[in-house]
Amino acid sequence: MSKISFSVNGEARVLELDTRTTLLDALREHLHLTGSKKGCDHGQCGACTVMVDGRRINSCLTLAVMHEGDEITTIEGLGSPENLHPMQAAFVRHDGYQCGYCTPGQICSSVAVLEEIKAGIPSHVTADLGAAPQVTADEIRERMSGNICRCGAYSNIVEAITEVAERQA
Ligand code: FES
Ligand code: FES
């Protein structure tokens, strides 16, 4: 067992965990933040995506004890039913989901994607590495390719992300 202190959605949390506990299990089983989903538990689906110090990661692929002192943001920390994050509101407006299982991961990933583009980080489909990447449908598809949606809500997800990007511009 090991003691770990980190901040989750702005709140300081201290847990006593088996060192083998993934960040996803720490969030879901120990902190009861069940918004982050366990789809595959081995880095293939993106349902468990959360942000650590502003960067998106698959929380099933990292151990909680590796995050001492980190700031973790889950879907619960982005917005609330009464006060949706703009990306959550856009997913609702564009029907960016059906069953909703992949949605928390999709939304955490989308928020981080727009930050990555803003920070000038290129992707595999960025044609000109010397220019700032743009928010195009191709860029969104490539950057969101780690988030699988079995319901196939992809085109609506791209529309939702595009709308938020346009509003931010
Ligand atoms: S549950 Fe983590 S990537 Fe699928
Ligand atoms: S909305 Fe069902 S898996 Fe994406």
Token readout for 49 is 């995506």
Ligand nearest to the CA of 148: 2
Binned at pLDDT 50, 70 and 90, residue 9 comes out as very high
Q: Is the CB of 150 under 6 A from ligand 1?
A: no
Residues 25 and 48: their CA atoms lie apart, in Å, by 10
In this structure, the residue with its CA closest to atom 4 of ligand 2 is 149
Report pTM: 0.96
Average pLDDT in the 28-32 region?
Answer: 98
Residues 5 and 83: their CA atoms lie apart, in Å, by 28
Residues 60 and 24: their CA atoms lie apart, in Å, by 5
Pairing status of strand 2-8 against strand 71-73: parallel
- The DSSP letter of residue 77 is H
Residue 132: count of CB within 10 angstroms of its CB: 12
- Residue 169 has what pLDDT? 80
- What digits encode the pLDDT tens for the residues 116-168? 999 999 999 999 999 999 999 999 999 999 999 999 999 999 999 999 999 98
Give the distance (Å) from ligand 1 centre to CA of residue 148: 10
Cα 155 to the center of its chain, rounded Å: 18
Is the Cβ–Cβ distance between 88 and 77 less than 8 Å?
Answer: no
What mean pLDDT, rounded, does the chain reach?
Answer: 97
In this structure, the residue with its CA closest to atom 3 of ligand 1 is 43
Residues 122 and 129: their CA atoms lie apart, in Å, by 7
